[in-house]
Structure 1
Amino acid sequence: MLDLIRRTLASAGLPAGAVGALATLAGKGGHPAVRAAAAALGVPVAEYPAGVLAAVPVPNPSDAVGAAVGTAGVAEAAALAGAGGGHAELVVPKRKSAAATVAVARAPRRPYARPTPGEQP
């Protein structure tokens, strides 16, 4: 899984340090591959229930995944949910290996607020 994550990030021109968290379906965060990838990247794991993920529109839904876990999108929906939900941007649609599927989403950018005089930036 970690190799797939790194290759996916590299394909988008993103460093591994750009990852803020790994997001997945509830109950999958304890999987050894997920835990190992999170530890290697130094990020937490966020888990979302199938109902939450099912409410996130995704570009590549899967009927087979929907029948198996209750949501037609896990990787893309979890990435978007973990990056801020409706305001997040899907940077890399799902990519699959034999053992895992990953997607990359970006949290919305916050507008720059100029410090007021005397305030530390």
Structure 2
Amino acid sequence: MDVTVGVGAVSGVRAEEVLAAVDAVLPPGARVTGLATLDARAAEPGLVAAAAARGWPLTGHPAAALAGVEVPAPSARVAAAVGTASVAEAAALLGGARLVVGKTAHGRVTVAVAT
């Protein structure tokens, strides 16, 4: 099963943190076809390094595009901080049609998976 992993993370997150969060939620047999996040985070060194380490493309989406995606677990706190109520779930859904793992916090990283 091909999946897109949506990632929300704090500034300064390390690649190891991102990869641990992804590995913790990937369904058995899933093949990651890319990481997706907020465009403002797409140049974050830890996210760039995590994607490069596994050979995954990294896509950044504008907050307005993410805000247009209906998600099961929106966050008012995230909306106030970055202009969209969802980063991980919305970014995953922009790369896939159906969430298979809803947003899951893992330390300083939040991930969601869509297929």
Report the TM-score, using the length of structure 1 for normalisation.
Answer: 0.77
Extract unaligned runs of 5+ from structure 2: 1-17
Q: Does 1:59 align with 2:72?
A: yes
Q: Mark the structure with the bigger radius of gyration.
A: 1
Extract unaligned runs of 5+ from structure 1: 107-121
CA distance in 1, matches of 2:29, 2:102: 14
**Structure with a larger share of its residues in strand:** 2
Give the RMSD, CA atoms, in angstroms. 1.0
Partner of 1:42: 55
CA distance in 2, matches of 1:91, 1:25: 20
- Tell me the CA shift for residue 104 of structure 1: 0.4
Q: Alignment length, in residue pairs?
A: 98
- Tell me the CA shift for residue 98 of structure 1: 2.2
1:13 to 28, 45, 53: 28
Alignment of 1:1-121 (within 5 A): 1-9=18-26, 12-15=27-30, 18-83=31-96, 88-106=97-115
Q: Write the letter of the residue equivalent to 1:14.
A: G
Moved over 6 A (4+): none
The percent identity for this pair of structures is 50
Q: Write the letter of the residue equivalent to 1:13.
A: P
- Contact 1:19-1:41 at 8 Å conserved across structures: no
Q: Write the letter of the residue equivalent to 2:114.
A: A
